[in-house]
Chain A
């Protein structure tokens, strides 16, 4: 009798815990401010302890890697030596390519991030759990002027965006995350599309929305392998940040949409330092009307206007042509500290 009473009471308590969790999940999804503030508070309190512990126990990780990753380190050394040899032999070629690249940038009027203010940050840790391989933590936060949603770049190009911003640290969602949605512009054909990271392959980015196979005159749009891809003017991020180069192109089953695999310009697997592009985040979708509307037809995205200056009238006009299935939530949703996905 007593045992039955105790079992009933503990089941009741378990049900209460499940209900509490459901409430927290709901509030978190809805971006309930006090909940975010409480989480930030906990992280801010724990961070100094973490830094001291990291300083004290850092050698443990180094020892572990030295002991158990020795084989892979040897392989990596061998690979790097081989790459160094290749690079030496290609030095002259690189010089020529650099000039060609400069010419390409000049020709396309790409000004990488331009004069926008940037904040340099170092990566203090990678993934902490078993399911967040596509995130890193950096040593700059709100007190350095950072806000959720800001673009994170390296010298090679975009690597991610700020997800959670605490007082002195921030979490970056990397471009390799399947939840990372980005509007891109294919420089060669001046077409815009929407893509996301690919699971288990941090070197590529898949653009599968918005890239038509034919233009308005029913002429095939030929996307050249190796052509440059940059952020679109209507993305959440500053325009014309390099994303990568086109690796492969295929057409969907209906033959209407082109699916492009992009080789990312920046290697996100081993980041040491990054820069955050300080730009006020506007409340706008990642890209307006990517399908079936393209650069030539979206107001403000014509080949004559690649600077990203779009009037509000044009935005509302573009929104009216947006396929509801393709439409993304506004950037303000990012400030909830969630995974950056669209659950």
Chain B
């Protein structure tokens, strides 16, 4: 059931990315919705399942990107693994931290994607404005994290866990 819910969330994120966020841009940079979903999922489920979910989300995004298939997937997986590991060891669960991690994670994902792209011959990804793009996308994702976090939690958490979490606090 979790897989189906996560697939629906990823599909929704992709469709929004392809429609609304083609026009809605933040200083000419678009938010990276699938990256955001991957980061927030890894934060909840940890590095192991988080990396797999991020890989699949990245693979879906790869289908639409002009870069070779697998580039966004591996970037997302590496970042989600790091975030999942960090989260399980360092942070308590607060909304502010979700926003913070969404920003830092997105910036890291964009940079890793561009760097790995350059390694496999996609030199045009290393633009002069790479840092600017990463920061603007990170800012956009941080803002959207407040809205997306509950949806991702619903998707990756089994219903009984959600009830338990709600009862606890």
Contacts and interface: CB of A to CB of B under 8 A. Distances in A.
**Chains A and B form a bound pair:** yes
A65 B70 contact: no
A218 B105 CA distance: 60
B29 interface: yes
A18 B21 CA distance: 29
Nearest to B55: A17
B71 interface: yes
A28 B73 CA distance: 13
Contacts of A127: 22, 30
B18 A25 contact: no
A258 interface: no
B67 interface: yes
Given A21-B73, A53-B16, A61 B81 contact: no
Contact of A50 (B15, B32, B55, B121): B15
Contact of B22 (A61, A62, A179): A61
Contacts of A27: 69
Interface stretch (A81-89, A247-255, A278-286, A335-343): A335-343
A299 B118 CA distance: 38
Given A6-B48, A39-B69, A18 B23 contact: no
Contact of B18 (A14, A22, A125, A173): A125
Contacts of B20: 57, 60-61
A30 to B, nearest CB: 10
A131 B124 contact: yes
Interface stretch (A41-49, A233-241, A263-271, A300-308): A41-49
B22 A126 contact: yes
A177 to B, nearest CB: 8
A61 B124 contact: no
A24 B59 CA distance: 10
Interface residues of B, number: 51
Contact of A53 (B15, B23, B60, B127): B15
A14 B71 contact: no
B96 interface: no
A42 B55 contact: no
A211 to B, nearest CB: 24
Contacts of B70: 20-25, 28
Contact of A29 (B29, B47, B68, B77): B68
Contacts of B21: 128
Contact-residue size bin, chain A (C-beta under 8 Å from the other chain):
35 or more
Interface in B25-71: 29-30, 32, 46-48, 51-52, 55, 59-61, 63-71
B99 interface: no
Contacts of A122: none
B122 interface: yes
Contacts of B101: none
Nearest to B46: A10
B48 A24 contact: no
A79 interface: no
A338 B110 contact: no
A144 to B, nearest CB: 21
A179 B125 CA distance: 11
A20 B76 CA distance: 13
Contact of B81 (A10, A42, A64, A163): A10
B74 interface: yes
Given A10-B48, A125-B19, A131-B124, 12 more contacts: A6-B48, A14-B78, A17-B74, A24-B69, A42-B63, A61-B20, A125-B18, A128-B17, A128-B22, A130-B110, A132-B66, A341-B124
11 contacts: A25-B69, A28-B68, A49-B15, A50-B15, A50-B19, A53-B15, A61-B19, A61-B23, A64-B23, A128-B21, A339-B66
